[in-house]
Structure 1
């Protein structure tokens, strides 16, 4: 799935390994590692934080709504450790292990049968019960 997605704010897909019970996605290494490392300190200015936020929003808009593709992608595990930062502090969304494809015809109506993600980052309403979106 990631090999079909091309956006400046998505991690660069290099390859994958699929052997026995091991499934590994290989991405480009980003020099500043994850956003999680920088949120608590004062390394990032408010302007940098805003630019990172905008980059993440652009990446999500692209995977959810890009009109040129017949599919949309639901990430299902957005959190600061899944946002990598490059040399210029540009955010790169990663962590597509739990992602799900959805056709554009069903984009506005989707039944998610199971709750997947990291509890602390999930919509509290979704944790309690399944719902049609």
Structure 2
């Protein structure tokens, strides 16, 4: 098992903690991390997850030992997890993850991808073709849907955009950003321009 302790230094609070418990208690899928339990005593708030022994995808992007077939398997797993959250069958409320990135994709021993970290997630209405929510800025620089960043209109396509950035990371074998001299340099626009030229 793995343990995640609430750290208020990083802006985490009770709403994110409770949202993680609620979502992972109601939504179960082989490509979502499983919640095994939690502790909520006074100021101590801890989530207990299944162990994803290989850690997060961002740590494996440049691994030359990760084959193309394994990379495809991981990407398909993420797509299945997202499809379940977005619920094309209309059997439960739609979940918009809002922070799809390689650091939030965990891998188990067999390299099964598991979406994790649901603290920023939003719930949309069920049984509708589209869910549109107006909300404050969410997500991580480089992965955020530009349309969302300008309109604050959140849709399942916002998650799909972020997943597309992860696909580029897997293809390019590197993160979509780098830290240099205390600044974050994002490569997504450069990747888009390279694709448009070809």
- Shorter-chain TM-score bucket reads 0.7 to 0.9
Q: Which residue of 2 aligns with 1:65?
A: 87
Q: CA 1:24–1:69 in 2, change beyond 3 Å: closer, same or farther?
A: farther
CA contact (8 A) 2:90 2:128 kept: no
The whole-number CA distance in structure 2 between the counterparts of 1:94 and 1:14 is: 13
Q: Structure 2: which 5+ residue stretches go unaligned? A: 1-22, 156-198
- Report how many aligned residue pairs link the two structures: 133
Instruction: Decide which of 9, 13, 27 is 2:35's aligned counterpart.
Output: 13
Q: Name 1:84's counterpart in structure 2.
A: 106
SS in 2 for 1:31: coil
Q: 1:124 to 1:50 in 2, by over 3 A?
A: same
The equivalent residue for 1:99 is 121
**What TM-score, normalized to structure 2?**
0.61
- Distance in 1, Cα, partners of 2:147 & 2:132: 16
- Kindly indicate whether structure 1 or structure 2 has the higher relative contact order, using CA contacts under 8 Å at least 6 residues apart: 1
1:8-47 counterparts in 2 under 5 A? 8-20=30-42, 23-47=45-69
Q: 2:90 touches 2:127 (CA, 8 Å); kept in 1? A: no
More displaced, 51-60 or 8-17? 8-17
The structure number with the bigger radius of gyration is: 2
- Normalising by structure 1, what TM-score? 0.87
- The structure with the greater share of residues assigned to helix is 2
Instruction: Compare 48-57 and 12-21 and name the one that shifted more.
Output: 12-21
Distance 1:91 1:4 in 2: 19
Asked if residue 118 in structure 1 is aligned to residue 125 in structure 2, the reply is: no
